Amino acid sequence: MRLRSLLPKLPTLVMMMMLAAPAARAGEGDGSQLERITRRGELRVCIWPDYYGITYRNPKTGQLSGIDIDLSAELARELGVRLQYVDSSFATLVDDVRGERCDIAMFAVAVLPQRRQQLAFSQPYLQSDICAITTRTNRAVRRWEDIDQPGVQVGVQAGTFMEPVMRESLRRATLTVVRAPTTREQELEAGRIDVFMTDYPYSRRLLDNAEWARLISPPQPFHVLPYAYAMRQGDPAWLSRVDRFVDMIRQDGRLASAARRHGLSEIVVRPGAAR
């Protein structure tokens, strides 16, 4: 009798179960990113594979190296999960992180006001000013004061913090925004720009590998910015865990050691520095 009484209600029960299933599946993604990383057993890290000394992929060997390759491996080890790299860039950073292509961006991301509006940042671990790269034979730009002059073509990479800073700073020179796959080095060597602006880590690539390159540093601090790790907003548990990791590597020497290996000791944020 009980079974017969349920038969007329079966279509309604089936419908209720079908409606409940998507809701249950959606609920699986609730909670902290840290919980999802643990369940998945994998940490997905966004990197920019053209960032020398930070997250650089050797074009000949395909091998990754840099301070954040070392430190991302340390973070994955502490979490007890495997590590997967996801190629990103400064131009796609916000979309990649907010779209959950990765759990965290670990490639020395400058903490900019416009990025803070869309991303959460750990405490800083590096900091860098802007510097300039030109050729040894360029006659237009010999000193920092020569950069913002009429007729000088100044290059910046699209999506980097140098783009808005130089757009605001230049009064007489002409700004050229270089977009991938074209590189600033190509434009400089071809003579289409006289100088390009970069940060300390990227300048090391040219100075270590290009005999034609010449570094011009500002005579006084120009636009020093902190570098940190970027995550989606609204997840205090994951942010707190990454902050704890940064604090630990600063205190126990792992950050300083990785920086020495990759020639970045000069821009490390020391233990005890204000956030």
pLDDT in tens, 163-197: 999 999 999 999 999 998 888 999 999 999 999 99
Asked if residue 112 and residue 38 are part of one domain, the reply reads yes
Judge whether 18 lies within some domain: no
List of the chain residues with pLDDT < 50: 1-3, 5-29, 274-275
Would residue 233 count as lying in a domain? yes
Say yes or no: 57 and 186 in one domain. no
pLDDT of residue 206: 82
What is the domain extent for residue 195? 130-216
Closest CA to 88 of 41, 136, 49: 49
The answer to whether position 26 is within a domain reads no
Which tokens is 211 given? 């005999």
193 and 146 inside one domain: yes
Residue 1 pLDDT: 44
Closest CA to 159 of 114, 204, 97: 114
What is the C-alpha separation between 241 and 250, in angstroms, rounded? 14
- Could you tell me if 41 and 122 lie in one domain? yes
- What pTM value is reported for the model? 0.77
The predicted structure's pLDDT at residue 274: 47
pLDDT at 272: 60
For residue 180, tell me if it sits in a domain: yes
| pLDDT for 197 | 96
Q: Give me the phi and psi of 119, to 5 degrees please.
A: -135, 160
Q: Are residues 231 and 95 both part of a single domain?
A: yes
Strand ranges of the sheet holding 153-157, from the earlier edge strand across to the other edge: 174-178, 153-157, 195-199, 130-135, 213-216
